[in-house]
Every structure is written in structure tokens, then in C-alpha cells.
């Protein structure tokens, strides 16, 4: 089976559409999302409707959860919090219901999907270095797992008796024999100094990864963010990919 995997859409409908079309061109049998469909971006309801209409399975991300509980219950800064509360106000009941039903973990074709990590903590755990990756592998049971959360495409590899390795995600990596946590980057707000939307494909038979960057027109997103009074910081972050 060929899986198409993306995450951290963050209310960016043009980027979501571009990634979806590219994954269909890649002839993926199944498309999966690692969460955070909303937050930061100005098209939250439209992105949720897109996911529903195309029957794209997703796990719950921290911004999905924060939208349900409101900014006061979220572990984010004021800029992100303002968008969380705005998102909560503009979403229809059906959108909130869909977000509330998202699972924290999924297993598809033998691969696990989580938003942040497998670490059982109330806070959303970040895998950002060797130490945090080692903590994740203490709890990850599956050979291959996919996540998002940091918006940076990397792969953490666990080989018994050896230090955990974290490297930049790139084409041609074959995941076999060890444990892997694969961060698929971000569709709607990349943070690896590349503003192109990010996604991956994974062949469950050959276990080969392919990293895909998709250029899209940011103008509709940036124009609406400006019209709605979203922070210039968020607008600049989108333009610069960091």
C-alpha cells in the first residue's frame, strides 16, 4: 500500500488543496493526516470540510484540542491564542463535533500515527532532539510511526544498543529493521526555512519514503489574514517558512 501523509494544515486551504492534488498524482491508496487541521490560518472550517468530503483520516493535534477548550486552557502564546479563540467562534457545531471525535492515535497498514509523540503526558510532548526522541522510543511499540507538531521534517531512528539518531528527512530512506519516528513537516506553516507545503509518501511494502514539497499561491491566505487582522508575525512566518 502506498500511503500519502501530511499534517499541520493550520487553516491553510490553498496549501491543503495543493498537497492533496499532488498526493493523488502520486497514486496513493490512502491519505492520512497527523493532526492540527486548524490554528494559525484563516480557513479552518473550509479545511475541515475538505477533510470530511474526501474522507481523510486524521488524529487530533494540539491546536485541534485547544480550539475545543479555548485559549485559557491552551499552552500557547497570545498570538496563537487569539487565533484559537477566533477559530472557535467561527466554526460551526458540525466542525467542532468532527474535531472532538478525532483520535489521539491511529494505526493504518501497520504504521502508527500520532500528532506529537507516544509519550503519555498531559502536555503535548515535542520531539526536537536526541533526548526527546529517546523518550518517545521508550513508549513507541510500533516499528514505524508518523507525527508532526514541530513543523520540521525529520526522522528519528532507534537501533537497540546504539544512540538514537535524528536526521533531516529526505527521499529514498528505507525504514526497515529498527524503530522509526517520521515527522512529515507541515502543510500550512512550514518551519524549516522552506515555505513550500510539505508531505510524504510511504510504501508499506518496500518501506521507502519520498519527501514532497509543493509550491502554492500564498496570496489568498495572506490577504485574508491581513483582512482579519491576524498578526504580522504569523503572516511573515508563512512567507518565510520559519
Q: Which domain holds residue 200?
A: 2-110+171-177+184-240
DSSP type of residue 71: G
Residue 234 pLDDT exceeds 70: yes
- Asked, for residue 132, whether it belongs to a domain, the answer is no
pTM, full prediction? 0.96
Domain count, the chain: 1
Question: 176 pLDDT band (50/70/90 cuts)?
Answer: confident
Assigned domain for 121 exists: no
Q: Is residue 137 part of a domain?
A: no
Average pLDDT estimate for 122-149: 96
Let me know if residue 119 belongs to a domain: no
* 44: DSSP letter: H
Mean pLDDT of 74-82: 86
In the block, which residue shows the cell 529526505? 170
- pLDDT at position 73 is 63
Q: Identify the pLDDT of residue 72.
A: 67
- The answer to whether residue 74 scores a pLDDT higher than 70 is no
Long-range contacts, stretch 46-49, CB < 8 angstroms, 24+ apart: 46/13, 47/9, 47/11, 47/12, 47/13, 47/16, 48/91, 48/95, 48/98, 48/99, 49/95
What is the rounded distance in angstroms from the CA atom of residue 182 to the CA atom of residue 234?
26
Average pLDDT over residues 120-143: 96
Amino acid at each position: 500500500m502506498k500511503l500519502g501523509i501530511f499534517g499541520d494544515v493550520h487553516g491553510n486551504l490553498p496549501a491543503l488543496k495543493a498537497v492533496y492534488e499532488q498526493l493523488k498524482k502520486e497514486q496513493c491508496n490512502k491519505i492520512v493526516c497527523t493532526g492540527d487541521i486548524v490554528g494559525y490560518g484563516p480557513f479552518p472550517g473550509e479545511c475541515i470540510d475538505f477533510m470530511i468530503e474526501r474522507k481523510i483520516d486524521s488524529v487530533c493535534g494540539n491546536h485541534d484540542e485547544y480550539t475545543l477548550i479555548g485559549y485559557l486552557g491552551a499552552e500557547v502564546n497570545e498570538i496563537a491564542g487569539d487565533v484559537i479563540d477566533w477559530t472557535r467562534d467561527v466554526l460551526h457545531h458540525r466542525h467542532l463535533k468532527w474535531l472532538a471525535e478525532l483520535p489521539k492515535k491511529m494505526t493504518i497498514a501497520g504504521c502508527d500515527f500520532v500528532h506529537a509523540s507516544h509519550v503519555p503526558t498531559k502536555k503535548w510532548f515535542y520531539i526536537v532532539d536526541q533526548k526527546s526522541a529517546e523518550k518517545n522510543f521508550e513508549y513507541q511499540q510500533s516499528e514505524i510511526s508518523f507525527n508532526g507538531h514541530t513543523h520540521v521534517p525529520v526522522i528519528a531512528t532507534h537501533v537497540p544498543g546504539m544512540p538514537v539518531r535524528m536526521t533531516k528527512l529526505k527521499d529514498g530512506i528505507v525504514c526497515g529493521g529498527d524503530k522509526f519516528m517520521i515527522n512529515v513537516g507541515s502543510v500550512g506553516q512550514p518551519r524549516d526555512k522552506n515555505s513550500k507545503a510539505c508531505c510524504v509518501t510511504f510504501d508499506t511494502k518496500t518501506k521507502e519514503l519520498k519527501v514532497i514539497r509543493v509550491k502554492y499561491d500564498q496570496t489568498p491566505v495572506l490577504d485574508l489574514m491581513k483582512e482579519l487582522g491576524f498578526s504580522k508575525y504569523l503572516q511573515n512566518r508563512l512567507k518565510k517558512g520559519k
